[in-house]
Structure 1
Amino acid sequence: MRETMEKRGFLIVLGAITLAFLLILLPFWSAIFWACVMSLLFNPVQRRLVEKFNGRQSLAALLTLLLGLIVVVIPAIAIVFGFINEGVQLYQSIENREISPSAFIERVGNAVPFLPDLLQRLGIDTSNLRSYLSDSAISLSRMISQEALNVGRNTVSFTLNLALMLYLTFFLLRDGESLVNWMRNAVPMDEERRHVLFTKFAEVSRATVKGNLVVAIVQGALGGLIFWLLDLQAPLLWAVIMAFLSLVPAVGASLVWIPVAIYMYATGDWIKASILVAYGAVIIGLADNVLRPILVGRDTKLPDYMVLFSTLGGISLLGINGFVIGPLIAALFLSFWTIFSKEFNS
């Protein structure tokens, strides 16, 4: 009886202390999370450098961190501030009527004469559609502008979180394996369950994170490049949007470049429109089909629908961090249910 009460008391105190510790870390959870993502992505590089430098973990972690800084962090900062600038400019252009969404729809309708008749036969009121799309474009540009300004105002907080992220990434790279082993031993499960859980979760999460992030970055970069080469407005802004839309199976970035190509055809710019269509269909379209199987693999890949819904749900609940957290939770969900199904069936 006394032993049981002591165990319960210890578990209650352990839970309270753990909760208090998590509350202390809550203001910095974004920096902690992205440090975990960085260490996860660059862990293979860390292992190779450790072998090359005869087990010198600190030197390997420092070089890996510098590589991550050059390859990921600095370009990401440049993209964020470019996105802020172009988002504000787009909103101001719409507010000043330099860009008119309704005029865009009218030109497309004039260039494709059968389109208004087709929409009317389908029971779609073109006047209401024009008004809806115009209001949606204004609302979207306003939202982008406000979010961009919020990021710009929080420069001090952004710098602090960035410094903390880089600091923690170094230690996660250096001591990552020992931390994972400690976590495995702390999980109250038998060795077989722990092995299945951590192995499956590591495989699925690493494959999903790499697949989502790298494919999104590549498709966004390719889309932004062609927009810049064709001298289209706000190429960096549309590159970021195409990167997010790459999560949508089958269509993805085409939700951006196809309407733009239609508009260019409507305005008589046939050469640029044809270049955009060919580039989008061949280069941007094939990037997902070629890269995702290589990065993700077929055995560890989450289903496309699970990636889509977990990502959108994560973004709606957690903001930009949900872009990665959503699929990670889905991977954890899949790992636990894999353990349960094996044990139940056996």
Structure 2
Amino acid sequence: MIDGKVMVTGGAGYIGSHAVLALLDAGHEVVVVDNLVTGFDWAVDPRATLVQANVADDAKVRAAIRDHKVRAILHFAGSVVVPESVSDPLKYYRNNTAASRSLIESAVAEGVAHFIFSSTAATYGTPEKVPVAEGDPTVPINPYGMSKLMTEAMLRDVAAAHPMNYAALRYFNVAGADPQGRSGQSTVGATHLIKIAVEAATGKRDAVGVYGTDFDTPDGTGVRDYIHVSDLAAAHVAALDLLIANPAASHTLNAGYGQGFSVLEVLDAVDRITNRTIERRFEGRRAGDPAALIADNRAILATLDWTPKHADLDGIVRDALGWERVLAERGR
């Protein structure tokens, strides 16, 4: 266990709120820093302390680190919509790269020992081969992926110059919700396929857009590696344990299951579980979308004390659907 608290930036958001739950359940003390632009204060477990601030606000962040004796930071705050990054790249270089630079500088100045970064498989761009491994070329095809890769580079250089180690977890497609119904994806207008599909299944949307049917995949639609958000949160706790145990080493790891499902396969799973048929609206490809992204996850399995517990597409869909019903009950 760490000697001090863990700061979670973006802890009022989708993935961050699940990481907060996993940390608290593991016995850590947690302080959340979130500006609540896309997150929700009610999504933060009451066992954690919430500080409303932007991660680029050096004064507030450094005060929070000092006041709460923070020794580790899990950094989730940022912008995550790939098509938006193509149309508004400067937003992504501000919210992801520049803000991360400010946060890392605050961490170094205040003596934070460990840093875990929410990176992405978008750093690979269009992979030369699938599954894609950590040592494969990183050639992002959109500003979102580039903004994250630039932050990885900063962390690598900072860890070489200062007494701080890090783990950068490259997420594949995060989906699902806390199986206990404590948190889930709550963003209005979300762009994640499974979130959109369960919204359609519960009447919040009329249909689901299928963007591209001519990819070089078995059914022509994009193939992605979907990882349950609770498994991903558990990976962060395991990564923190590893950083604490060996402060001289840093790690960059894929976070995925090593298996892919197409858009149509995901929609078929939602149909199967809800016993209804979601309307599909077929449209052209979106800018910046590769045909397939599947993780080679051998490194994370070998490096972390982590075994996925929710690696089942139907289970991921059921948990996502359960969260939609929680939101409906709450009038959200």
Indicate the TM-score class for this superposition, using the shorter chain for normalisation: under 0.3
- Choose 1 or 2 for highest CA Rg: 1
Q: Which has the higher strand share?
A: 2
Q: Which has the higher helix share?
A: 1
Q: When the two structures are superposed, what TM-score results if normalisation uses the length of structure 1?
A: 0.23
Q: When the two structures are superposed, what TM-score results if normalisation uses the length of structure 2?
A: 0.24
